């Protein structure tokens, strides 16, 4: 289902292995695609983003995960991404588009600058709304700064619409947005979260 993850395992010549989990970026039924952010000083992401060449084979296991997924339900979805948290949300929106679902969906994507946007052209088709936290594009009239309760009150489905929220990104981003959503009336069990990174 869209929103799931896979395990990628790399094996060195002496048998040493390293494994990491990645959110699936593609929609179900498409060739499997992951999007990897290079972490400075990381063990695996520098290899995947700099060394891997077309034609290389990688050992993958999965998909796994069953909660941060969309099963095609008709309830309005409010998707909130911080940085690389866009990856599983793109999978959900891509799947929704491929199956011709009428489920209403809104996407709020928080990035530092325009250079940090992933899947920019595709996200336009989903009506993405951005907020820029470090540098806005010239002439920008949209949101800026961190996601706030006022911003959510403006863009999120009202709680009365029985929406489900998917929030994904760095831990502190998710903590803030998830608690702000419960403050505007989203029941906690209707706020699904996936946190990347440490705290």
Partner 1 sequence: MSPVTRGFRGRRNPESASRTPPGQYLTKDFPVLSAGPTPVTRLEKWTFSVTRGDATLRSWTWSDLRELPYDDVTVDIHCVTRWSKLDTRWRGVSIDTFLRDADLEDTVSGYVMAHSDGGYTTNLPLKDLTGGKAWVAYEYGGQPLAAEHGGPARLLVPHLYFWKSAKWVRRLDLMKVDEPGFWENYGYHMYGDPWREQRYDGD
Residues binding partner 1 (CB under 8 A): 7, 9-13, 15-21, 43, 47, 51-52, 56-59, 64-68, 171, 175, 178-179, 181-182, 188-189, 191-193, 195, 197-199
Kindly tell me the sign of the dihedral angle through the C-alpha atoms of 74, 130, 198, 58.
positive
Give 71 or 121: the residue with its C-beta nearer to partner 1. Answer: 71
**Smallest distance from the beta carbon of 7 to partner 1, in angstroms?**
8
Q: Which is nearer to partner 1, 128 or 177 (CB)?
A: 177
Which CB, 152 or 181, lies closer to partner 1?
Answer: 181
Separation between Cα atoms, residue 110 and residue 149, nearest integer Å: 14
Residue with Cβ nearer partner 1 (13 or 138): 13
Give the Cα separation of 3 and 137 in Å (integer). Answer: 30
> Least distance (Å) from partner 1 to the CB of residue 62?
10
Contacts of 54 (CB under 8 A, 6+ apart): none
Q: Which is nearer to partner 1, 123 or 164 (CB)?
A: 164
Q: Considering the complex, state which of residue 97 and residue 171 has its C-beta at the smaller distance from partner 1.
A: 171
Least spacing, CB of residue 64 vs partner 1, in Å: 7
Shortest reach from residue 198's CB to partner 1, in Å: 2
- The rounded distance, in Å, linking the Cα atoms of 149 and 97 is 29
Write out the two tokens for 175.
């903590």
Least distance in angstroms from the C-beta of 21 to partner 1: 5
The nearest distance, CB 24 to partner 1, in angstroms, is 15
Q: How far apart are CA 62 and CA 151, in angstroms?
A: 36
Q: What is the DSSP letter of 18?
A: E
Partners of 19 in the beta sheet? 9
Sign (positive or negative) of CA dihedral 43, 45, 50, 51: positive
- Least Cα distance to 3 among 77, 76, 92 occurs for 92
């Amino acid at each position: 289902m869209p929103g799931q993850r896979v395990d990628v395992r790399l094996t060195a010549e002496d048998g040493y292995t390293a494994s990491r989990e990645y959110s699936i970026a593609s929609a179900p039924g498409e060739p499997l695609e992951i999007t990897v952010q290079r972490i400075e000083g990381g063990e695996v992401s520098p290899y995947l983003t700099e060394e891997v060449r077309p034609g290389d084979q990688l050992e993958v296991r999965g998909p796994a995960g069953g909660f941060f997924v969309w099963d095609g339900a008709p309830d309005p979805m409010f998707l909130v991404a911080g940085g690389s948290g866009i990856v599983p949300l793109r999978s959900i929106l891509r799947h929704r588009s491929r199956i011709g679902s009428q489920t209403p969906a809104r996407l709020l994507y928080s990035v530092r600058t325009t250079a940090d946007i992933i899947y920019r052209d595709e996200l336009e088709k989903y009506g993405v709304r951005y907020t820029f936290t470090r540098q806005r594009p010239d002439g920008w009239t949209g949101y800026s700064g961190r996601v706030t309760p006022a911003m959510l009150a403006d863009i999120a489905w009202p709680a009365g619409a029985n929406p489900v929220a998917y929030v994904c990104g760095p831990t502190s981003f998710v903590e803030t947005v998830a608690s702000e959503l419960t403050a505007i009336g989203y029941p906690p069990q209707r706020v699904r979260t996936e946190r990347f990174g440490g705290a």
